[in-house]
Copies of this chain bind each other. A is one copy, B any other.
Amino acid sequence: MKDVAKLAGVSASTVSRVISNDSRISNKTKKKVLKIMEELNYYPNTIARSLANNKTDTIGVIMPSYKEDIFINPFFQKALKGISLIASQHFFDILIVTNHKEESDVDVLKRIIKGKRVDGLILTRPKEDDGGIKFLKENNVPFVLIGSCLEYDDIPSVDNDNEQASYDLTALLIKKGRNKITFIGGELDSVVMKDRYKGYLRALKDYNIPFDEDYFISDKFLEKSGYYLTSRLMSLHNNLDAIIVADDLMSLGALKRLKEGEKQVPEDIMLASFNNSMLAKYANPSITSIEINSIELGRRACQKLFDIFEEKSRENKEIIDYKIIERESTSLKKGVN
């Protein structure tokens, strides 16, 4: 910067003001300084700027148990894409925050925040707060949650209405004339899963469809879970006519089992699922699934974070639309896709 200042015959302050587009600098000097900057191939040191003005132009993104995630959830990538789209419009970059070695989830937050590495955070925490949210609240850190948090309902967040989505999916099956509708769930400790369970029950109740305790069973989000849980359902109920599955991957397992059991999908048993991955689209038959629009989720979360920066007040909790993508697995007339 000094070099630029010297060559342009001005002070460093002036150069600084040109960089930050200060209105008080005359057009003449601005042009001159910009020319010199160009000539010298000068770019300001971002780190030094950050130190001086306590701003990093960076947002941190924290993913849930990113390291452990054995099966790689496409949600991550889509949300990240949405986030990055908005961030880049605001000239911000994205720091992927990862636990260093043995570091706990709370410690990593403290390190990043107290270390002043980011201006704000986007996090995804489907479960209960482990102390991280508390820490962020106490320290007035701008942050947005993708998903929900049981302990606090006053934190800025974007989420799907998972309960309603599940309700709609159940209602769809009911309207197609099904009345032994079972549900294969994933890990039960997530809020998402609990909401889906609720929505399912509510729909059954609203439409006066019988519910039996063992209509609802669950296990991990794996294909094989889908497979063997379907086995169990089939042995428990010889006349079930619909299965809702918590994830497309699981639904493939279910589908496999149904085919082995000589059950026709959708004729004998209809299948519907969540997350609308490629797998649902390209399965045979293709599977009706809930599109949760992860890109939009990321986009809106990031937008919300900038709203917080700019102190625009908005709804604390934003609900993102989902869509039911109807496919062959719930359509009796052939050829629908």
Contacts and interface: CB of A to CB of B under 8 A. Distances in A.
Interface of A: 41-48, 50-51, 56, 58, 61, 66-67, 69, 72, 74, 76-78, 80-81, 84-85, 87-89, 91, 93-101, 110-112, 114-117, 249, 252, 277-279, 282-284
Given A95-B95, A96-B96, A278-B278, A117 B77 contact: no
A228 to B, nearest CB: 17
A95 B93 contact: yes
A46 B117 contact: yes
B72 A96 contact: no
Given A72-B78, A77-B72, A98-B93, A43 B111 contact: yes
Complex A-B, nearest 8 residue pairs according to Cβ-Cβ distance, in ascending order: A43-B114, A46-B115, A94-B96, A77-B77, A88-B98, A91-B100, A47-B50, A284-B284
B67 A85 contact: yes
Q: What copy number does this chain have within its complex?
A: 2
Contacts of A81: 66, 69, 72
B116 A47 contact: yes
Contacts of A95: 58, 93-96
A35 B95 CA distance: 30
Contact of A279 (B48, B66, B110, B278): B278
Given A93-B97, A98-B93, A117 B47 contact: yes
Given A72-B78, A279-B278, A101 B88 contact: yes
A101 B91 contact: yes
A298 to B, nearest CB: 12
A267 B13 CA distance: 76
Nearest to A99: B88
A115 B67 contact: no
Nearest to A43: B114
B115 A88 contact: no
Given A47-B50, A117-B47, A84 B96 contact: yes
B47 A51 contact: yes
A97 to B, nearest CB: 6
Given A81-B72, A88-B101, A95-B95, A252 B282 contact: yes
Contacts of A84: 66-67, 96, 98
A306 to B, nearest CB: 14
A303 to B, nearest CB: 16
Contacts of A278: 249, 277-279
Given A61-B96, A93-B96, 9 more contacts: A43-B110, A43-B115, A47-B115, A47-B116, A67-B84, A74-B74, A76-B77, A93-B97, A282-B282
9 contacts: A43-B110, A44-B115, A48-B51, A61-B96, A72-B74, A87-B98, A88-B98, A93-B112, A284-B284
Contacts of A111: 43, 46
Contacts of A99: 88
